[in-house]
Amino acid sequence: MIRPRTNSYAQFQSRSALAFELLVDCCEKDQLPLALQVVRVARAWEPDHYRSHTKDNQQYDRFIDEQVGKYAFQMLVQHRFDKVVWLLTQVEATLPTLHGQELGITDKNIPIIQTRLLALLSQAQMRY
């Protein structure tokens, strides 16, 4: 007997959280084609009335996209640029729009950040 699928908010949250965990596991184990399928399915099953159109978060259309964007930002912070590029180009993730305090940037650590960025991006490494 096939059990009818319900779309309660709790079940949606549970499915979305599991899909995101599976996506992260796939990315970490370089199972990128499977990760793409997980995102495709998660986007497809997300009911329209659960979209992230709240006043606080209008950047993302879907919950899974918000989670993938945060994951891409985490990969950026960890300097895992191959994952960032893959998430942005293949999964079409959008990095979250964050500002100074949300990024942990204060006046006292701006020089440290600038020095580190300059060390990472020497003139020889930059492409125009």
Q: Which two tokens stand for residue 82?
A: 């191959």
What separation in angstroms does the CA of 12 have from each of 19, 20, 74, 89? 10, 12, 24, 26
Q: What is the pTM of this model?
A: 0.66
Q: Render each residue's pLDDT in the chain as its tens digit; 128 residues.
A: 555 556 677 777 788 889 999 999 999 999 999 999 999 999 888 876 555 544 454 556 678 888 999 999 888 888 888 898 899 889 998 888 765 566 666 677 777 767 776 676 555 555 43
Say what the pLDDT of residue 7 is: 61
| DSSP code, position 59 | S
68: left (phi over 0), alpha (psi -120 to 50) or beta: alpha
